[in-house]
Every structure is written in C-alpha cells, then in structure tokens.
Chain A
Amino acid sequence: MENKKVNTETNKEVMIECKNLTKAYNGFKALDNLNLDIVKGEIFAFVGHNGAGKTTTMNLLVGLIEPTSGDAFISGHSIIKDPIEVKKIIGFLPENVNLYSGLTARQTVKYIADLNGGVAENKIDETLDRVGLEKVKDKRAEEFSKGMKQRLGIACVLVKDPEVLFLDEPTSGLDPTGKMEVQDLLKKLGDEGITIFYASHILGEVEDIADRVGILYQGKLQKILGKDEIEKVGEIYKEISVVV
C-alpha cells in the first residue's frame, strides 16, 4: 500500500524512508537501526569502508534481502509488504556487474525492458543514446571496456524510467576515464531530477556529485553531511573512525 510522505523542511516528497532498519547475521548487526529520509531529486551518497554496511543497506532497500527488524519505504511502498511495487519504480546497479557478454547492447537493454513490461523500440535507442552507447548498440557486451559495460548497466537501469536509482560502487574497478564518464553521467541524471542513492568507499569522488553524504561505520549511520560540509568528508570520516 502506498503511503507517500513529504519532508516538512524542503517540502519535497520523501522517496526513500528508512525506519529503524536493521539487518543481523547470526547476531552480528551488519546494519544497525538506520533512520533516514531522502527527498525527490536528491543525490545521496553513502560512504564507508568495505564491510561498513553499505551493500547491506542497498540490498535491503532494493528488496534482495529482508530486514531483521524495521522497515523502509520507497515512494511510500514498504520494502517488506510491497517488494514488487518497489521494484517497479527503482533501478539498481550492483557492484561490478558484468552484463550478458553474448548479447548486444541493444538486446541487453531490450531484455531488461521486457522484464519490466516492455517499452517502445525507439525508447531503447534513446536510452542507449543517453548513456553514449548509441553507436555501439549492435556490438556484443564482451567487446566493451569496463566503463562502457558500466554505462550499459546504467542504460538497463534507466530504460524503465525509475523514480529512484540505487548504485553500488558505480565507479569501482574503472580507469580514470571510465570513472569520469560514469560520474558525468550521474551528474546529468541528478540534473534531470532522478533521486540517486549511491554507495562508495572512495571519499573523494562523492564531493562533486552528492547533495548529502551519510557516513556509515560498523553498521551505524554516524553522521550526515550537508552540501556545505561535503568537502570535509575525509577529515570527518577520520575523526569518526578514531572515536568509534
């Protein structure tokens, strides 16, 4: 059941709402009591070292795993009660995804579009154009560089016109050029008003893109930095790790 919420400070619709979200594995809390609101059109970056709980959070929000306690809502839909409704409005790009090497870029995007009920043929071409792969749409993904593969993944995510985009370490393993390409694309998507929730362990790269940054440490959200504090993310992260 849809239960949309509006943030009173910004007067914007809350697209992601976490309420005491917790995930434990055999007593170990991979994510501990997360409470968070992300509004429409916001780019929110989650930073933390490997194992801090970023991927767990992402997996919970996209419905891959169920929380031990608490709940989260995506555009008002509960991840526990309405996982299929949630999946209709989100796009998720996992870390290091290697899309079907035997399929062409166009076939891959069409496959994902068909799983979402199908789209017009020209929409597939438009989406590939949006991520800069229009010229190579008939080439197999196995011929692509890592950066191109990542852009193909983003095309698959975008073809369904998601309201919220979840990206797990989207620049992981990319060379500097590939990184720049993906970062530029994310900025462009942010400008288009898509809500983006993105996880990274590279503190430096969130400065240019994010509107807010959440610092996750040992499964707990330690601090949320606003636009004016983001450039100090490195220092603040260091302080938190010493204190904790």
Chain B
Amino acid sequence: MNTTVVIAKKEFSENLRSTRFIILFGLFLFMLLLSAYSGTQNYADELESYNENMGTGNTDIPKPSILTAFQQLLGSRMVSSGITIIGAIIGIVIGFDAIVGERESGTLKFLLTQPIYRDTLINGKLLGFTILIFTVVAISSVMTIAVIGGITGVFPGGDELPRILVFNVMMFFYIMTFAVIGLFFSVFLKQSVDALLAAIAVFIIVTLLISPVATAVASFIAPMPSQSQVFVMRGGGGQTMDVVFAGGDRTASNRTGTASNRTGVSRGWQGMGEEMRAAMTKNRNVMQTIMYLSPSENFEHVNEVILDPYSEEMGGGREFGFGSQIHRSLPEGLGMVWGNIIALLVWLIVFFLASYVMFLRQDVGR
C-alpha cells in the first residue's frame, strides 16, 4: 500500500475513534437536524402562504422550493449558524494536533526514521483529513435530506439537487479550511494546547470580530451620510421592514422573505437619493472586500445565494438583498459568488502550502 494512504488511513481511523471527534460530530449532526426540522416548518409556512395567494388569484408568486428548508441550516443571520461555528471547530479539532501531537508524544521522530519522505507524512495527514471531512459531510447531507424529505414528503430534485450538492461541497471546503488552519499551527507551534488556542483565535477573529472591524474600516475609508445610518423602508404589501445599516452585523428581519416583501425592499433601495446610494455602495464595497478575509462569511454568503435562487444583491450590499422575483439558475448564482468561493479556497491553499513548506524545513531533531 502507498505510504501516503497508510498514513491517511491511520489518521482517519484514529480520529474516528477519538472521543472529542465523536462528541463534536454528534453535536454537529444534532444542530444540523434541528435546523432541518425548523426548516421544514418554514417550508410548510411558505407553502401555506403560497396556497392562500393562489386562492386569491395572485399567481405571480413562485411555488416554494424545498430549498427553503435547507436555507434554515444557515441560521437566522443574527449570528453565525451552528454549522458555521461547529463545522469550524470540527475542522480545528481534526487539524490542531496533527503534527504537534506526534512531536509531543515522540512519534514524529519515530515516523521520520521510517523510509518515507517528510512530504509523505504531511500529504498523508491531509488525505486523512479529506476522507474524514468527506465522511462527515456525506453523513450529514444524507441525514438532512432524509429528515427534511421524511417530514415534508418532498425530496429535492431537478435544480434543487445540484444546489444542495454545491452547499455540501462548500461545507467540505469550509471544514477543510479550518482543519488546515489547525494543521498550520500544529506545525508552527511546539505545544498542542497553543496550536488549539491559536487556531481558535483565528476562528474568532475571522468569524466574530471581522464584522465590526470591517464596519469600522469602511466607516473610516468611506463614511456615509449620517441620516443613512439607520433608516426604515416601507415595503410593498403594507409590511414594514427595518434594515439597520450598521454595516456587517447582517441584521435583516427576514432572510427568507416572501416575494411580496422582496419587491418592497427593491423599491426602498431604488427610492433612495443618488448620493446616498453611492455612499452606501462605496461603504459596502469596502466592507465586503474586508469580509472576503472571512472563511465563515464566504461560506455563508455562497450558500445563501445558492440555496435561495431569488436572493439578490443590491448596491453591492447583500444583507438586505432578497429583492427579486426572478429565479436565478445555479450557474448564474455561482457567477455571483465566485469571488467568495475563490477567497475560501485561497485560505485553504495558502495555509496548506505554508504548513507544507514550514514542515519540510523544520528541524525535528531538537
């Protein structure tokens, strides 16, 4: 057997047996299935609303897709969703002691005196992570589809299946990114506890702190007229929608808004003055550029767009952008978020390359 595969196999089976992994994976599945259940309620509500509209002769509204239930997996947007947080932690836990753990126990020296090259060891670790995370995502995906399908009686098909596939691929890359961040610190630092803390610190910075930082930087570089800080837009159909423009805190009262209030938001945006729109757009652009640094933000944004074919970006701002009634195809959706996909992959590649180079040059004898 190829030695890279031997290392990957051992990495996979050892992780699979570890208590910390089992607990986290259990928690991840629990949150995912809970969100899926909650998503089925949303789907039922939208279906009821659709049927009511159809009854009153309003046929403009598209029939709700089962994707509505999957959108709930991303949480409420008030805070990062459970899968964003626990997915990242699973990744970190898989990666943080990959090398430093071997160093602490003395097995690194032991392994490196076997007839293998150093890159075989780190490649084997990465392959092990890949198989493990693929397993996590595959099991989670099958169970989510089963729960949603079992409760609603509707299974994804047609355009929905490839969207769910993209969602799972993104989840895979997202967890991998944090596994590789963990790996980086595992190579860089001498103690596993330090590696764990460093990886968690990065996670906190890029998930929780980046938003206020982006807001502050955007306000400094591209300040907005004061009256636009908080405003109220009156939506169509008599609904009121509060959109707090405290950039980056992602407050939107109804992410999976119905078609009627979507139209209202669009009108609100279009009704703004040119100057204010330009200022907001500039501010948004600065903020979004900074937010590209966040794997969590990129992951969530790609999935919002992919799982909601009606979401729309306005003035460069996606937070209050569900204004369209036009169904967007998957390639069109991917075209909107390619920058986020690349930004997520850049994290993965850069951290792996850094780990790789550093490990090959490291003095393991001391």
A103 CB within 8 Å of chain B: yes
Which residue numbers of B lie inside 8 Å of A, CB to CB?
1, 3, 6-7, 10, 14, 17-18, 105-107, 109-117, 363-366
Q: Is the interface of A mostly helix, strand, loop or mixed?
A: mixed
| B18 A98 Cβ-Cβ under 8 A | no
| A62 B116 Cβ-Cβ under 8 A | no
| A64 B117 Cβ-Cβ under 8 A | no
| B110 A65 Cβ-Cβ under 8 A | no
> What 0/1 pattern do residues 99 to 113 of A give for CB contact below 8 A with B?
110110000000110
* A77 CA to B288 CA, complexed, in Å: 58
Q: Separation in Å of the B352 CB from the closest CB of chain A?
A: 22
* A165 CA to B7 CA, complexed, in Å: 23
| A84 B115 Cβ-Cβ under 8 A | yes
| B113 A114 Cβ-Cβ under 8 A | no
Name the one of A25, A94, A156 contacting B109, with C-beta atoms under 8 angstroms: A94
A118 CB within 8 Å of chain B: yes
| A111 B113 Cβ-Cβ under 8 A | no
* A116 CA to B106 CA, complexed, in Å: 19
| A115 B113 Cβ-Cβ under 8 A | no
Which A residues are in CB contact (< 8 Å) with B17?
102
Name the one of A96, A102, A156, A166 contacting B18, with C-beta atoms under 8 angstroms: A102
Q: When A56-B365, A59-B365, A115-B7 are in contact, do A64 and B113 touch as well, CB less than 8 Å? A: yes
| A97 B115 Cβ-Cβ under 8 A | no
Q: Which of B1, B3, B17, B365 has its CB near the most chain A CB atoms (within 10 A)?
A: B365
Name the one of B3, B106, B115, B365 contacting A65, with C-beta atoms under 8 angstroms: B365
* A110 CA to B126 CA, complexed, in Å: 21
Q: Separation in Å of the B109 CB from the closest CB of chain A?
A: 4
* A62 CA to B115 CA, complexed, in Å: 11
Q: When A84-B115, A87-B115, A92-B110 are in contact, do A114 and B1 touch as well, CB less than 8 Å? A: yes
Q: Separation in Å of the A172 CB from the closest CB of chain B?
A: 11
Which B residues are in CB contact (< 8 Å) with A203?
none
Which B residues are in CB contact (< 8 Å) with A166?
113
Of all chain A residues, the one with the shortest Cβ separation from B121 is: A115
Q: When A93-B110, A97-B110 are in contact, do A115 and B365 touch as well, CB less than 8 Å? A: no
A207 CB within 8 Å of chain B: no
Q: Separation in Å of the A105 CB from the closest CB of chain B?
A: 14
Of all chain A residues, the one with the shortest Cβ separation from B14 is: A102
Name the one of B109, B113, B117, B363 contacting A90, with C-beta atoms under 8 angstroms: B113
| B105 A98 Cβ-Cβ under 8 A | yes
Give the interface size class of chain A: 35 or more
Name the one of B14, B110, B116 contacting A156, with C-beta atoms under 8 angstroms: B110
Which A residues are in CB contact (< 8 Å) with B365?
55-56, 59-60, 64-65
| B113 A100 Cβ-Cβ under 8 A | no
A to B CB contacts below 8 Å, 5 in the list: A62-B113, A88-B115, A99-B105, A100-B14, A115-B115
Name the one of A25, A60, A97, A111 contacting B10, with C-beta atoms under 8 angstroms: A111
> What 0/1 pattern do residues 167 to 182 of A give for CB contact below 8 A with B?
0000000000000000
Which B residues are in CB contact (< 8 Å) with A84?
115, 117
Q: Separation in Å of the A156 CB from the closest CB of chain B?
A: 7
Q: When A100-B14, A102-B14 are in contact, do A64 and B364 touch as well, CB less than 8 Å? A: yes
Which A residues are in CB contact (< 8 Å) with B116?
87, 115
Which A residues are in CB contact (< 8 Å) with B6?
111, 114-115
Q: Separation in Å of the A13 CB from the closest CB of chain B?
A: 21
A37 CB within 8 Å of chain B: no
Q: When A64-B112, A87-B115, A111-B6 are in contact, do A97 and B14 touch as well, CB less than 8 Å? A: no
| B113 A118 Cβ-Cβ under 8 A | no
Which B residues are in CB contact (< 8 Å) with A103?
10, 14
A95 CB within 8 Å of chain B: yes
| A115 B114 Cβ-Cβ under 8 A | yes
Which B residues are in CB contact (< 8 Å) with A62?
113
Of all chain A residues, the one with the shortest Cβ separation from B15 is: A102
| B105 A116 Cβ-Cβ under 8 A | no
Q: Separation in Å of the A136 CB from the closest CB of chain B?
A: 18
* A118 CA to B6 CA, complexed, in Å: 10
* A56 CA to B17 CA, complexed, in Å: 36
| A63 B18 Cβ-Cβ under 8 A | no
Which B residues are in CB contact (< 8 Å) with A55?
365
Q: When A64-B365, A114-B1, A115-B7 are in contact, do A99 and B115 touch as well, CB less than 8 Å? A: no
| A115 B107 Cβ-Cβ under 8 A | no
Of all chain B residues, the one with the shortest Cβ separation from A63 is: B113
Q: CB within 8 Å of B: which of A127-167?
A: 153, 156, 166
| A116 B113 Cβ-Cβ under 8 A | no
Of all chain B residues, the one with the shortest Cβ separation from A115 is: B114
Counting from the closest, the 4 A-B pairs by CB-CB distance are A97-B106, A65-B365, A59-B365, A92-B113
| B112 A98 Cβ-Cβ under 8 A | no
| B1 A118 Cβ-Cβ under 8 A | yes
Known: A55-B365, A97-B106, A118-B1. 4 other contacts (CB 8 A): A62-B113, A87-B115, A102-B14, A117-B115
| A100 B18 Cβ-Cβ under 8 A | no
Which B residues are in CB contact (< 8 Å) with A112?
110, 114
Of all chain B residues, the one with the shortest Cβ separation from A97 is: B106
* A117 CA to B18 CA, complexed, in Å: 27
| A96 B113 Cβ-Cβ under 8 A | no
Which B residues are in CB contact (< 8 Å) with A115?
3, 6-7, 111, 114-116
